[in-house]
Amino acid sequence: MTTILIIDDDIEFCETMESLVGRMDHRCVTAHTLKAGSDFLAGNDVDVVFLDVRLPDGNGLTALPLIKKAPSEPEVIILTGQGDPDGAELAIQGGVWDYLVKPTSIKQTRLSLSRALKYRQEKQAETPVALNLDNIIGVSPSMRKCFDLVAKAAVSNSQVLITGETGTGKELFARTIHENSARAGHNFVIVDCASLTETLLESTLFGHRKGAFTGADADRTGLVKVADGGTLFLDEVGDMPLSIQRSFLRVLQEKRFRPVGQTQEVTSNFRLIAATNRNLEEMVEKGQFRRDLLFRLWAVHLELPPLRSRKGDIKRLAMFFVDHLCEEYGVPNKGFDAEFFETLSAYDWPGNVRELFNVLEMAFITSGRTTTLYAMDLPSNIRIKVAKATLTRDSASTPEAAPGDTNPPVSRILSETEAQVSRHFGNRIPEIKEFKGIMEEQYLRELIRHTGGNAKKIMQISGLSKSHFYTLLKKKEISISSD
């Protein structure tokens, strides 16, 4: 459903907008401060933001760049009490869709909103959808942005620079770009610049003739040549010595090079994807990386987010990887106890997806033949860190705050339902009874979690009678203490 966010401190105006937007069949959310609006944008998909200029905690125009950079990259319409030509100019330069001065007519507001939404729809339809992303898991807005870039990179031939912390999937994304590109029928060649000495890196990249240096007892084809027609993936490019950066820049420009000890040049039509977890701009400033090479590398820049900033993906990644382990070990699929996921989401994952997969494999092995994975199966160092962090957080937060999870409860119910449905039914649409059953179960689990199992709050929020609530728990086999 299309979501419209109104950031305005005029409560009466917000109510008028809510009714206008509601009549257009869109969801409308209001925020009366910049902070409340930004918090909502950080965790939710928003299509259009109506933004006031003078707000109690700051100026809307100053906050515009941050609002435009929110994960869902919303369109922005400025709706201000004071018309100001300079402000309008500033806003348009900042990429706003429209600049309206209050009071505006209903017709004008509707028209502006409809146009912004139409533009957004067209913009989103531009993304190629035929990508094969079978091995990449992620539904968070930041990952969806990465998929859009993968799609653009796959249809182009330009250099790609992938940055991100260790274990965020740089190699996986590089391979995915290659496999979705016109070069897929040729080699995907990996060179790890960090693991080779300067001399070895040079001969690995460009090849050498027999006898070119001590130990060169046979001709060797360089990996740049092996990547002819395909993709060369330079991992840890920040570790490439300056002397090789110079020769490599020439190879990138001319697509020809001379193997060590050979007089004739060799050509190679390769596409370069480079990756690093280092800050190349900083390295350029310190004279450790060539600026001209950096400019060449980042024709397309894909920045992979750390796992701790997209905790909504942890559950799907875990289900994907444990299913894969079950298949590999030839055992029936395993289920998960709710606390298992809670512990995973409460941990910070400094080693990102690689660390998550290692931990899951340990838990999988510990669980032996049992058909469910419990938090107890996780390595004790993780459980201890989570327990300590939760204790510190609990003493400072409200009882309703779930550890490590910043999504609103309704989003959690919906995303849990979606995950369960896709797990059980794949692409098939379930019967309505089955679907309702799953949704009902997720609602109950979230309700218990949100209230910490407090019966009075449960009845207040849900409107259920005690007996009805306990009948439902029994039917769904949910125990209030373990959930």
Ligand X SMILES: Nc1ncnc2c1ncn2[C@@H]1O[C@H](COP(=O)(O)OP(=O)(O)OP(=O)(O)O)[C@@H](O)[C@H]1O
Q: Considering the complex, state which of residue 41 and residue 360 has its C-beta at the smaller distance from ligand X.
A: 360
CB of 320 to ligand X, least distance (A): 6
CB of 195 to ligand X, least distance (A): 11
Task: Report the interface residues with ligand X, using CB under 6 A.
Answer: 135-138, 164, 166-172, 235, 277, 317, 353-354, 357
Secondary structure of 20-69 in HEC code, one letter for each residue? HHHHCCCEEEEECCHHHHHHHHHHCCCCEEEECCEECCEEHHHHHHHHHC
CB of 276 to ligand X, least distance (A): 8
The answer to whether 318 touches 359, Cβ cutoff 8 Å, is: no
CB of 240 to ligand X, least distance (A): 15
Number of Cβ within a 10 Å radius of residue 183: 20
Strands 256-257 and 300-303 come out as unpaired
CB of 11 to ligand X, least distance (A): 42
What DSSP state is assigned to residue 480?
A: T
Q: Considering the complex, state which of residue 169 and residue 404 has its C-beta at the smaller distance from ligand X.
A: 169
Phi, psi values for residue 277, rounded to 5°: -105, 10
Q: Considering the complex, state which of residue 71 and residue 167 has its C-beta at the smaller distance from ligand X.
A: 167
Residue count (the chain):
483
- CA 357, 316, 420: angle at the middle one, nearest 5? 140
Is 116 in a helix, a strand, or coil? helix
Distances (CA, A) of 468 to 243, 439, 446, 456: 74, 17, 17, 14
Tell me the residue nearest to ligand X as measured from the CB.
169
Q: Considering the complex, state which of residue 97 and residue 364 has its C-beta at the smaller distance from ligand X.
A: 364
Distance CA 149, CA 141 (A): 13
Distance CA 108, CA 132 (A): 42
In a 13 Å sphere around the CA of 264, the CA atoms on its Cβ side amount to 3
Pair of tokens at residue 39: 């918090």
Q: Considering the complex, state which of residue 172 and residue 401 has its C-beta at the smaller distance from ligand X.
A: 172
Q: Considering the complex, state which of residue 97 and residue 347 has its C-beta at the smaller distance from ligand X.
A: 347
CB of 313 to ligand X, least distance (A): 7
CB of 280 to ligand X, least distance (A): 14
Pair of tokens at residue 403: 């550890």
Strands 207-208 and 220-221 come out as antiparallel
Q: Considering the complex, state which of residue 71 and residue 207 has its C-beta at the smaller distance from ligand X.
A: 71
CB of 367 to ligand X, least distance (A): 20
CA torsion sign for 48, 53, 55, 58 is positive
CB of 314 to ligand X, least distance (A): 11
Q: Considering the complex, state which of residue 329 and residue 428 has its C-beta at the smaller distance from ligand X.
A: 329
CB of 197 to ligand X, least distance (A): 19
Q: Considering the complex, state which of residue 172 and residue 365 has its C-beta at the smaller distance from ligand X.
A: 172
Pair of tokens at residue 137: 């898991």
CB of 310 to ligand X, least distance (A): 9
Distance CA 241, CA 197 (A): 9
Distance CA 143, CA 146 (A): 5
> If you search the block for the tokens 């965020």, which residue do you land on?
168
In a 13 Å sphere around the CA of 207, the CA atoms on its Cβ side amount to 22
The answer to whether 173 touches 302, Cβ cutoff 8 Å, is: yes
Q: Considering the complex, state which of residue 235 and residue 441 has its C-beta at the smaller distance from ligand X.
A: 235
> If you search the block for the tokens 């390295």, which residue do you land on?
283
DSSP 300-346: EEEEPPPGGG-GGGHHHHHHHHHHHHHHHHT-PPPEE-HHHHHHHHH
Q: Considering the complex, state which of residue 177 and residue 317 has its C-beta at the smaller distance from ligand X.
A: 317
Residues 6 or more apart whose CB falls under 8 angstroms from that of 405 comprise: 311, 345, 412
CB of 329 to ligand X, least distance (A): 17
Q: Considering the complex, state which of residue 117 and residue 136 has its C-beta at the smaller distance from ligand X.
A: 136
What DSSP state is assigned to residue 452?
A: T
